[in-house]
Structure formats: structure tokens, C-alpha cells
Amino acid sequence: MTLERQSVPFLDVEATPLTVSQLTAVLNKFVAEGGTRFVVGHNLHSVTLLHSEPAFRSFYANADVVLIDGAPVLWLWAKTGEEDDGRAPVMDYRLGSTDWIPALGNIQGLERIAVIGAGSVANAGAVAKLQQIVPGARVDGMPGEGWNSDVEETAVEWLSRLRPQLVLLGLGMPLQEQVLSRRLAALPPAVYCTVGGAIEQIAGVQKLAPRWIGRLGLEWAWRLMLHPQRVAYRVFGEPWVLLGLLLRRRLPVLRRQA
């Protein structure tokens, strides 16, 4: 299938909206081809970083797949399509990592998976869960707590020895994207997927919101309730920062049009 970027109005970003089955087909193709690929996701946090950090924007511009992981981004993108344009239901295109990771067992020839990130307990739990999801694959894990330059160097060497086909990198945003950007030349060929906090969620260490809450676009409220100190700024503060960044980008255009 053709991976065409589609514009998300107002946010001034592009994405490659896919359903779980469509992403599975893409990953099948990537694994069969070998080579290095990047799969990332867009929510309001990533959009804010994209407009405030040039290196982050460059990384996303060169990513192979930019999923939609965030209700506001999804709703704005949905405004670009007609009801009869052949799309699946809109919410089917909202793919957080925990939506598509359970489908990895459908990828043909997936035999080696690496999981980097979270604490040792969560990492081990995610490795065990992935071994159930993809029973024919070897799954290795490396915790990401205390990440620094030495740990990063060790991780690159570890990956070079393992030569995985698929890497789930969950160091939080933007650290995980920064690591991939600066280590690109040293990383072995693989499909690298940035998964944020999904390692803890897959392991069961962090409780997932009920799916009906996610489909209503209210997962932010669930996370705010469970982790108020971690999530409060993203919910109440970051949207205003993003609005300011977007207005700053639009003002010169508006002045030229006036």
C-alpha cells in the first residue's frame, strides 16, 4: 500500500493515518524488506515539540510512518475527508502503541524483537507478554531507567549483537526520538517504533484506560486521574503553548495576505 502523508488542518503537521490491519500490512512489508524504518505517532505533545524543536521536526519529516495517537489530532484530520470517501470509522485510525502491539503476531517472518525502556520489572513483563503475542519470536529486553550516554552506548552495542527485526523503544518523548536521531549511523537495520509509556502498559504495571473511554477521546482524563503530577501540564498547560507556537507561525502569512 502507498504511504501517503495527509495534512492535519490547523496543526500544520502531516500524518499517515492507518488502521491496525493496514499497519500490520505495512510492518509485514518492512520486516520482509529488511533495512531501517521508523514508526512514530502524533499527539498534541509531539505536535508541540515539532513546532518548537527543529531537530524533532526533521526526525518526523523523515519517519516512514506517522500514526495518529491523540483524539484532537484525529478529529482535525477527520475534517479533511468526506463521509463516503471509503475510510473506515474515524476512531479506527487512532493508533496508540497498545492498539497495534497486540497484533504483532500477524506479522510474517517476525523472529527477533527488542524492547528498550521502562524499569526492569516492567521491561521483563513486557518481554513476557510479547512472547505470548508472538510465540515464535525471540524477545529480548533492556530497561531504560537511568538513561545516560553510557547506557545509550551499551544499548547500541546490545542491538548490534542481537540484530532484531523490530525494536520497541519506550524512553518517553522526546528522548526516544533524540536517541534514534543521534545514533542512526550506528544502529543495525530494523523497524524502530517509538512507543512512549506502552512498555509499562503492555506489562500491566500501568493500568490502561477502558477502550470505551479511549474511543470517546477521553483517555487524557483517565491518565490525569491516575497520574496527575505527570499529566497535568500536558492537559492544561501544553495546549496553550502549542496555540502560541501555531499563531507565531501563522502571523507572517496573515500579514502578507493583509
Report how far residue 123's alpha carbon sits from residue 144's, in angstroms, rounded to the nearest whole number.
8
- pLDDT for 234: 62
Q: Which one has a higher pLDDT value, 179 or 83? A: 179
Output the average pLDDT for the chain: 87
The share of the chain scoring above pLDDT 70, in percent, equals 78
Mean pLDDT of 148-166: 97
At residue 230 the predicted structure's pLDDT band, cuts being 50, 70 and 90, is low
Nearest CA to 12 out of 220, 239, 247, 238 is that of 247
List the grid coordinates of 208: 490502561
Better pLDDT: 206 or 1:
206
Looking at residue 80, its pLDDT comes to 74
Report CA 60 to chain centroid distance, whole Å.
11
Handedness of CA 187, 192, 196, 201 (dihedral sign): negative
pLDDT at 87: 80
Name the residue with higher pLDDT: 31 or 4. 31
* pTM (two decimals): 0.87
How many other C-beta atoms are found inside a 10 Å radius of the C-beta of residue 231?
A: 16
Segment 91-135, tens digit of pLDDT: 899 999 999 999 999 999 999 999 999 999 999 999 999 999 999
Which of 35-39, 231-235, 241-245 is most confident?
A: 35-39
pLDDT band for 244, please (50, 70, 90 cuts): confident
pLDDT number for residue 221: 58
The runs of H, that is alpha helices, within the chain are: 20-33, 44-52, 54-62, 71-78, 97-100, 120-133, 149-162, 175-182, 198-203, 211-215, 219-226, 228-232, 238-257
d(CA 51, CA 238): 12
pLDDT greater than 90 at residue 258? no
What is the 8-class DSSP label of residue 94?
Answer: B
Residues 138-154 have pLDDT tens digits of: 999 999 999 999 999 99
Looking at residue 109, its pLDDT comes to: 96
Task: List pLDDT tens digits, range 197-207.
Answer: 999 999 988 66
| C-alpha distances out from residue 213 to 91, 219, 232, Å | 12, 6, 18
Dihedral sign, Cα of residue 154, residue 101, residue 31, residue 36: negative
Residue closest to 104 by CA, chosen among 197, 193, 207: 193
Largest CA distance in the chain: 62
Query: Does the structure show a pLDDT above 50 at 237?
Result: yes
Between 249 and 51, whose confidence is greater?
A: 51
Paired residues of 141 in beta bridges: 115
On whether the CB atoms of residues 49 and 174 are closer than 8 A, the answer is yes
Which residue pairs from 155-159 have beta carbons closer than 8 angstroms and sit at least 24 positions apart in sequence? 155/116, 155/179, 156/183, 156/186, 156/187, 158/114, 159/114, 159/187, 159/188, 159/190
End-to-end CA separation in angstroms for the chain: 42
* 225, 210 contact by CB (below 8 A): no
